[in-house]
Structure 1
Amino acid sequence: MRKLFGRRSLSALLPLALACSIGAGLPPQPAAARTGAPVSAAHAAAGGGKHTGPPPLAQSTTAETGHIGKGRSKVSELPPLAAGTGAFRKKKTAAAAAACDVDDFTSRSGSALVKLIQASTTDCVNTLFNVTGDDAYKAFREAQMTTVAYALRDGSASYPGDSSTGMPQLVLYLRAGYYVHWHHPDTVGTYGTALRTAIRSGLDAFFASPHSRDITDANGETLAEAVTLIDSAEENARYLSIVKRLLADYDSSWNASPWMLNAVNNVYTVTFRGHQLPEFLTAVEADPSVLDSLYGFASSHLALLGTDQSYLTSNAGRELARFLQHSTLRTQVRPLAVRLLKQSAITGTTAPLWVGMAEMTDSYDKANCSSYDTCDLQSRLASAVLTVTYPCGSGITVKAQQMTSGELSSSCTSLRDQGAYFHNVVRDSGPVANDHNSTIEVVVFDSSTDYRTYAGAMYGIDTNNGGMYLEGDPAADGNQPRFIAYEAEWLRPDFRIWNLNHEYTHYLDGRFDMAGDFNAGVTTPTVWWIEGFAEYVSYSYRGVPYPEAMTEAGRDTYALSTLFDTTYSDDTTRIYQWGYLAARYMIENHRADVDTVLGHYRSGDWQAARTYLTSTVGTRYDNDWHRWLAGCAAGDCGGAAVDECTGGDTRELGRNCRRSDQSATTGNHAYLYLYVPAGTTRLRISTSGGTGDADLYYSDQGWPSTTSYTRRATGAGNSHTLTISNPPAGAHYISLYAVSGFSGATVSTSY
């Protein structure tokens, strides 16, 4: 599984779902772009002895945490962020990163260090989560951390409720220190009583500051990070009063401030991770009023369910029920959990609360399931939620929450036709040895919200992603592989199952290319192929441009030889966009090498494949790769549909060719056409590149317009694709409608 988390605080799109019910402690959350997946990990030894609690979070303080998938678990990227959500702090730019020099921090101490931190940007301080070696010691040894913790104390006395005095930077620096110390304890050295005294004084002073109660984004930035710092410093037990305070103080006025929402949501980090600390349990046993606070918040804010702040209520219920894991607290938790379950339902707007709590009762108090009415939870969820079962043929069965007959038919056609395309690309000779996964179950939830609500409880997976394929043990009798996906509700009224073809490629690839189960397949770095090839098939099969990958090609970030080392611990851009580029380059330019590598993958000789990639291929193609990337960035990656069409009429398209430099003024059209021969099974029409905003219209009856057309692909920008199955022989007509004036667009066709 990938272990990917963003660093600084994200908004409510990635609420803290906290569905993990196993493991000795959460790992640190390293840098990443958009998704996260938890893993269980034993506590690591540190310089001064053994850690007693979970490692500190990296910069993301609201990354969703979920279950761990079993078997071959391949996850996909999240959908685009919904309007009004996403990171509300600007992303770090290359210029900002370049202007931030770690030597400035490692060469200072005392007041000079404090002044530098306060004068730095939070983007700059973010980079310090990555320091290693001697820099880690110089920046974050106990004396340095103690100095900064006392600066937090001193600054809190006159805290103005905003960042003007550098308070967010101080808190973030301390969080970075705990994070780096966890990963490199021997390098950084012991954290002992001196730092614990200092950090307590700093947090005490901050939370005592009157302006720490301001309901503003300006205060929320520091407050949200300070709440996470409680957990980083393993002071979860000491600051239960702050957990209760924020839960009690929240009201609808907080909803206007993303940072304040972040702050209240981060209290669930304190409770969730506190279970790993013995003193936390002792504190709750001595004063269990935090249980009443969690219950009171959920019960008082049921109206949030179904809104953008739904996660606040569902997380409160989930975290209350998580205390069922402690036998000393069950008598207090049970009646509260029963009441909340009765105030919610397995479906509808209250489902996130019911399912989250039911999942905890199933994990920690299953013997008493009848008390909660949560017995046979997975079966009950499947019956209540996945009401549609549709056999596609070819061993494919769709189980859906809600799909029309037309949607089922078109989705099944896409999957069935993809099989032939896949086999044509990989040139396999049948399933790998001992792979009995002859059928696939395709689970489709009605939206990303439904996916996050139900999939973790039903299938034991992380849901902070765009879908997941679970292979299981392909050699085991009765094993049922499945992939779990959802409708892309942000594309409605158009229907699309997000990552449908990507996930199906994982199934096909696992059956015909990758011996054994998922764990066997990642004993050496194979992610460049696993995810890159799934992206390649998904985009090339559908004839869809991949503008994000083309943008990355222009950055020329990685050598091809470097990408063969990609693992799931790398960031999503490297895994997906760069994986796509590497797979495409190798398939379309060095087919013999791909055949050799796949031969080793199919026999399970992972080391032979690894040796071939790193030694025989090695850096041989790196120079040509960089040249190819430059061409890709300019719109010419080689392969199909890259040559200009040759017909004398500049409007005429053809088989696997393009017409560049299309343009039209606002409200007008650019027109093109092509002739398709009889027996054509699939026609793809794609637009990409240029400036402005062009929508794509198609007809097989005459020139299409915005009111008369057979098919259309609309939306911001010029990247659109239409796929027409079994087009009639003869003339086909295409128009690009200028929503706003566009120029430099390219139209390509393939069949």
Structure 2
Amino acid sequence: MRPFRISAAQARKLPALGAAFFLALGLFAPQAHAADTSSAAQAGKPATATQASAAKAAAPHAIPVPKSPDTPKDARPLASDAQAKAVAPKAGSALGTAKAPKQLAAAPSATTGCDVSAFTGNSGAALVQQVKAASLDCINTLYNLTGNDAKGAFNEAQMATVANALRDVSAAYPGDNSTSAGQLVVFLRAGYYVQWNHADVVGTYGTTLQTAIRGALDGFFAAPHSKDVTEANGQTLAEAVTLIDSAQENARYTGVVKRLLDGYTTSWSGSMATAVANTKTVIERGFDRTDFTAALQADPSFATSMASFVTRNASQLTGSDTVTSIGILIGNLVAVDALKAQGRPIVKDLINRYPLVGATAPLTMNLVWFAEKKDTGNCAYYGTCDLPTRLVPLVLTINYTCNANLRIRAQDMTAQQLTDTCTSLVNEDAFFHKLVKDSGPVANDNNTSLEVVVFDDYYNYSLYAWEMYSIAVDNGGMYEEGDPSKVGNQARFIAHEADWLRPTFQIWNLNHEYTHYLDGRYDFYGNFDDGMTTPTVWWVEGLAEYVSYSYRGVHYDAAVAQAGQGTYALSTLFDSTYANADSTRIYNWGYLAVRYMLQSHPQDVDALLAKYRVGDWTGARALLKNTIGTSYDADFASWLKACAADNCGSLPTSQAPLCTATDARQYDKNCRRDGVAATTGNYSYSFLYLPAGVKQLTITSSGGTGNADLYYNGGAWATTGSYLAKSATAGNGETLTIANPPAGWVYFSLYAQQGFGGVTVTTTYN
């Protein structure tokens, strides 16, 4: 729903419109490959526009559309692992929770209640006793502490005391929680989490805690029973692994991570499998730390352990598994200069070892992203130079032609869905032309056809579209206009199904984006940058919203609600740009402005479009700001009040369905034919059968190129020398209304004053 011709750099500036986000169903998709700086920083992997587009030249005039509800908040490759902060300790513990298949056994003296003062009002040995005696459920509630309670429980002295206690307990760790090691670990995790979010209250952590926590973790991981492959050990071990990251000691314990990766087999289950899964956090966030990078540089076996972990356990690859998630992190090796030599052969092997589609696709496509975006210029080494071409037939297995001007490439659509989509777009075409009353494409526009690419869902769109079409995927789709002045240019809308609406089938933003294609071809001269010479966003986005909602007959609840706010004057909306307006002003208010102008001042719209169509941007701006100026503001304000009460005026009706008679010349009641054409001086002859009692027959023509005049002649062929009625204005927008026509066959024709094509002809009677 972004403008049809905006550059990628501009596109990243506009907040997304619409629904709340949900995480991507546990599946992995590549990160937002052209995400803005703020989103990249939030993800912990700052990326510049240069880095994001280095592997391929940015597609000309490519623009993202509003995000779908499936678009993940976190723009990192692991879409299922959203994180509030780049290196924030993870919140909460699975230890002892009701959802766990087994709970760590609480100490024999565990209390049934949870008195916060037991942790804030005690220190030293008394604090340790309270922590060890508390239930795990109680310890887990401490993640929520704030204010003085947070400071009292988790100041550095308290944390160091508990860390030293964990060190002491670890010396004789029995491989289960009978000595309450689990409570001590979870308390420390909670402390790091609370301090991260409330450092101003809790205070800073320094060398005292660092020394203590290193002693604690050294002691625990050195304990012989911490290596037991048992459910009892796994429960505390899994939390201790996460504590490594909470304490930001990722570099110090690469050996522990490597030990778990090397030891893991498919027989590990339950909490032992969780312990291995938790190494993902240590590795992932470790790559944000220079000391971690240095540790991996000094120990190349860490990289080979990660690779071996993947290849040994490849049978587990499903796309939403631990092997996939850790395997994807291998890509970070080529993102760090010091580690590239280690990472290149491993990444190359994995990319070429596993299929690009199916269960292994999340692994391979994410590693391809790292290879292309973080090790640019080496596609020949990785064997990925021709990957976009190879992916198209692998992923988009359906190639369906609607007509000479419209084609669908799809991942998974039924025959009926393809037919319905074609019908929707073809009918919208006629609806659009009737609305804007154009006389054909603007000069030098060669976007004669549109390719609609439809991925099965957001996940597949984000997984593949970035590589296949060199676009950003942190959005709900992308329209690529290309260069309309170039002969053979292919306009393309890259979309995905709205899988959250299933079983109802819908392609996200389909009709809005198709309006952009039509508007760019028939209303705007030149390319997008030309059209943005002066503010045109109110029309560009407002028309797309207006056509989409009106054509589909959908009530625009959000826009009507905005009308009641009365936020903007019409003259202010004429100034909207992508830089000065948010999504509400661009889409909701753009719709309201366009609807008002089309209904209340259609002659001004005609004059405005006449200037847009020849590229007279200065003249169009003068019309809006000088000729119209503020003269409609008061009336617009009154109209908004009525609209807020759901009295916005009449919407245009949808176009008649296509005629079904085999003979292309034959029409019927309420039907139309598209693509009507004739050469200069010739006719397109037509006829229809009228039953007795018809009171009024209406024949209209619209759209297309050239200049066609409409003639009607009752019971005989209609020509310029034999007719009962005619409509002969400039262009193809002709209408004839015949009162009380005779029953039986009647005839009409379009005469080519100038050769015409692509015209829509509609007949209705009552």
User: TM over 0.5: same fold?
Assistant: yes
1:462 corresponds in structure 2 to 472
1:498 aligns with 2:498: no
Return closer, same or farther for 1:270/1:404 CA change in 2, 3 Å cut-off.
same
Counterpart residue number, 1:603: 614
- Tell me, yes or no, if the aligned pair for 2:462 and 2:473 is still in contact at 8 Å: yes
Among all aligned residue pairs of Structure 1 and Structure 2, give the percentage whose two residues are the same amino acid: 38
Pick from 69, 74, 82 the counterpart of residue 80 of structure 1: 69
1:170 matches 2:198: yes
Change (3 A) 1:429 1:349: same
Q: Equivalent of 1:489, from 480, 491, 499?
A: 499
Larger Rg: 2
Alpha-carbon distance in structure 2 between the residues aligned to 1:70 and 1:305: 33
Name 2:345's counterpart in structure 1.
335
Of 449-458 and 335-344, deviating more is 335-344
Q: 2:598: which partner in 1? A: 587
CA contact (8 A) 2:461 2:496 kept: yes
Do residues 526 (structure 1) and 536 (structure 2) align?
yes
Deviation at 1:472, TM superposition (A): 1.0
Which residue in 2 is equivalent to 1:71? 60
Aligned with 1:603: secondary structure?
coil
Distance 2:201 2:529 in 1: 37
What is the aligned residue count? 526
Report Cα offsets for 1:415-461 as digits up to 9, x if no partner: 11211111122222222222111111111112222111111110011
Query: Are the counterparts in 1 of residues 559 and 589 from structure 2 also a CA contact under 8 Å?
Result: yes
Structure 2: runs of 5 or more not aligned: 1-10, 74-78, 85-143, 145-150, 163-186, 221-233, 657-666, 673-765
CA contact (8 A) 2:254 2:295 kept: no
Q: What is the aligned partner in structure 2 of residue 540 from structure 1?
A: 550
1:427 aligns with 2:437: yes
Give the AA of the match of 2:460.
Answer: D
TM-score, normalised by the number of residues in structure 1: 0.55
The letter of the residue matching 2:59 is K
Partner SS, residue 421 of structure 1: helix
Provide the secondary structure at the position in 1 that maps to 2:359: coil
SS at match of 1:483: strand
Provide, for residues 98-157 of structure 1, a one-character-per-residue CA deviation record: whole Å limited to 9, x for no partner: xxxxxxxxxxxxxxxxxxxxxxxx9xxxxxxxxxxxxxxxxxxxxxxxxx9xx9978976
2:250–2:282 Cα contact (<8 Å) kept: no
CA contact (8 A) 2:409 2:453 kept: yes
1:334 is displaced (CA, Å) by 2.7
Alignment-derived partner of residue 629 in structure 1: 640
CA distance in 1, matches of 2:200, 2:432: 47
Evaluate the alpha carbon distance shift between residue 293 and residue 554 of structure 1 in structure 2; reply closer, same or farther with a 3 A threshold: farther
Give the equivalent residue in structure 2 for 1:578: 589
Change (3 A) 1:548 1:600: same
Structure-to-structure mapping, 1:156-167, within 5 angstroms: 167=195
Q: Which amino acid aligns with 1:408?
A: L
Distance (whole Å) between structure 1 residues aligned to residue 388 and residue 302 of structure 2: 30
Q: CA deviation at 1:378?
A: 0.8
Superposed displacement of residue 639, structure 1: 2.3
437-446 vs 200-209, greater mean Cα deviation = 200-209
User: Is 1:27 aligned to residue 37 of structure 2?
Assistant: yes
Alpha-carbon distance between aligned partners in 1 of 2:636 and 2:367, rounded to the nearest angstrom? 51
SS at match of 1:433: coil
Task: Give the match for residue 670 of structure 2.
Answer: 680
2:717 equivalent in structure 1: none
**8 Å Cα contact 1:302/1:313 also seen in 2:** yes
Deviations 1:458-493 (A, max 9, x none): 001112222111011111233211111122223333
Judge conservation of contact 1:73–1:518 (CA < 8 Å) in 2: no
With over 3 angstroms needed to count, the CA separation of the structure-2 counterparts of 1:622 and 1:329, relative to structure 1, is same
Quick one: distance in 2 between partners of 1:536 and 1:205? 64
Distance change (3 Å), C-alpha of 1:338 and 1:414 = same
For each residue in 1:379-433, what CA deviation from the matched residue of structure 2 results, as whole angstroms up to 9, or x when unmatched?
A: 1101211222222114111112222222222211211121111112222222222
> Match of 1:333, as an amino acid?
G
Q: Which moved more, 1:515-524 or 1:402-411?
A: 515-524
User: How far did 1:367 drift?
Assistant: 7.5
Counterpart code for 1:471: E
Question: Partner of 1:579: helix, strand, or coil?
Answer: helix
Residues 496/455 of structure 1: CA separation in 2 closer, same or farther (3 Å cut): same
Residue pair 1:68, 1:461 contacting (<8 A) in 2 also: no
Contact preservation (8 Å) 1:559, 1:622: yes
Structure 1 CA distance for aligned equivalents of residues 207 and 439 of structure 2: 67
* Aligned equivalent of 1:405, options 410, 415, 422: 415
Q: Is the Cα–Cα contact under 8 Å of residues 6 and 31 in structure 1 kept in the other structure?
A: no
- RMSD of the TM alignment (CA)? 5.8
What is the distance in 1 between the residues matched to 2:616 and 2:294?
51
Return the letter of the residue paired with 2:669. Answer: G
Q: Cα distance, 1:373 vs. partner?
A: 5.0
SS in 2 for 1:391: strand
2:96 matched residue in structure 1: none
* Distance (whole Å) between structure 1 residues aligned to residue 286 and residue 571 of structure 2: 42
What is the CA-CA distance between 1:575 and the residue it aligns to? Answer: 3.3
Residues 154 and 299 of structure 1, relative CA distance in 2, 3 Å threshold: farther
Residue type matched to 1:565 in 2?
Answer: S
How far 1:501 sits from its partner (Å)?
A: 1.2
User: 1:345 Cα shift?
Assistant: 1.6
Taking the aligned partners of 1:262 and 1:604, their CA distance within structure 2 comes to 58
Cα distance change of structure 1 residues 450 and 424 upon mapping to structure 2, 3 Å threshold: same
Q: CA deviation at 1:585?
A: 2.7
Cα gap change, 1:623/1:153 in structure 2, threshold over 3 Å: closer, same or farther?
farther
- Report the residue type matching 2:586 in the other structure: I
* 1:680 partner amino acid: N
- 1:101-250 correspondence to structure 2 within 5 Å: 167=195, 169-170=197-198
Contact 1:401 1:445 in 2 (8 A): yes
Distance, in Å, in 2 between the alignment partners of 1:613 and 1:206 is 70
2:454 is matched with which residue? 444
**Separation in 1 of the partners of 2:494 and 2:587?**
19
Does the 8 Å contact 1:19/1:67 carry over to 2? Answer: no
- 1:71 partner letter: P
Distance 2:402 2:197 in 1: 55
Partner Cα distance (2:326, 2:648) in 1: 50
